Amino acid sequence: MKSFLHYRLITFSALIICGVFTGSCRAEIDTQCQLLFRQTIFDSGDYTCISEGPVPACPEICHPVSSYDKEADVICFKKDDPFGKETKLIKSVSVPDRCELTLPVAVKPPAEQ
């Protein structure tokens, strides 16, 4: 988990970059939001499902600008019997096209929340 100071430094550096290089700050900020490929876990009724392979996702400090639905092979387990029989399904998952840095507007340190 990233610390409060980490988010403040990213915000501060983004403001400096935008102030010094007017007009080119967007490209500088976007470099920190490369798509990650990781397995997705989600609830589906009485089941908890996990994707069999990695699915594109945004890093935690970013949010998707646009996304599309993609079919993914998933393995599902009953919530009340996670070690029981697994079920393989094909589910539609939302996949980001592009990610953008989420700049915090008003963030309190974890101790104050």
- The domain tally of the chain equals 1
Evaluate whether 69 touches 90 at the Cβ level (below 8 Å): no
Is residue 25, in this structure, part of any structural domain at all?
A: yes
Residues 60 and 23 sit within 8 Å (Cβ to Cβ): no
The pTM assigned to this predicted structure is 0.54
Q: What is the pLDDT of residue 9?
A: 52
Residue 113 lies in a domain: no
87 located within any domain? yes
The per-residue pLDDT of the chain, averaged, comes to 77
> Is 8 contained in some domain?
no
> Which has the minimum average pLDDT: 4-8, 41-45, 47-51, 92-96?
4-8
For 34, the domain range is 14-107
In a domain? residue 2: no
Half-sphere exposure of 52 (CA within 13 A, CB side): 11
